[in-house]
Amino acid sequence: MRVLGVDPGLTRCGVGVVEGVAGRPLSLRGVGVVRTPADAELGHRLVSIEQGIEQWLDEYGPEVVAVERVFSQHNVRTVMGTAQASAVAMLCASRRGIPVALHTPSEVKAAVTGSGRADKAQVGAMVTRLLRLDAPPKPADAADALALAICHIWRAPAQNRLQQAVALHATRTPTARETAPAQKGRTA
């Protein structure tokens, strides 16, 4: 499975492509950052992010795009920029029919380091180790994008099995016992 991980941001949007399957060594295919100038108009920044993501999709042809799920922060302005960059990544993938998976920051940290409270240095160190790199990718946004891709590769098989079980449960015919009206308790 080839996954493009996207750590959304308006100024620095981390991108990284990892290939592999759960339980086997993973391979780094590419890592970088799509940058936009902080003083540029918002619309131009979003177009620049779109163009950058499109280039990554063209070059690496991922099967899935894993994007960090935007979570509530104290700074609403930061959340808005992150959400806008996230939406651009999802749009680019969806336009091509590429499935999009969202993972929370704590989910990614837990998958990669074993702790949902790991700091950026710990995530970078584990990404370096898991992908057998000489040094952690810089900036941290790039390492976070790789962590997203790794998280998805490792979690996708279990998530697929859960989705299949839910779908099977939803399509099966209920038994007579499940559809019978509940009997009220008898009073003495």
Q: Which residues are catalytic?
A: 7, 68, 141
Sequence-ordered list of residues with C-beta below 8 angstroms from that of 69, at least 6 positions apart, any chain: 86, 102, 103, 104, 105, 107
Amino acid at 178: E
Q: Which two tokens stand for residue 184?
A: 């009220």
What is the rounded distance in angstroms from the CA atom of residue 94 to the CA atom of residue 97? 5
Q: Among residues 150, 65, 58, 76, which one has the least CA distance to residue 108?
A: 150
Number of H-type helices and E-type strands within the chain: 6, 5
Helices 140-171 and 105-113, axial angle in degrees (round to 10): 100
DSSP 96: T
Amino acid at 119: D
Instruction: Specify burial of residue 35 (Cβ count, 10 A radius: 0-12, 13-18, 19+).
Output: middle
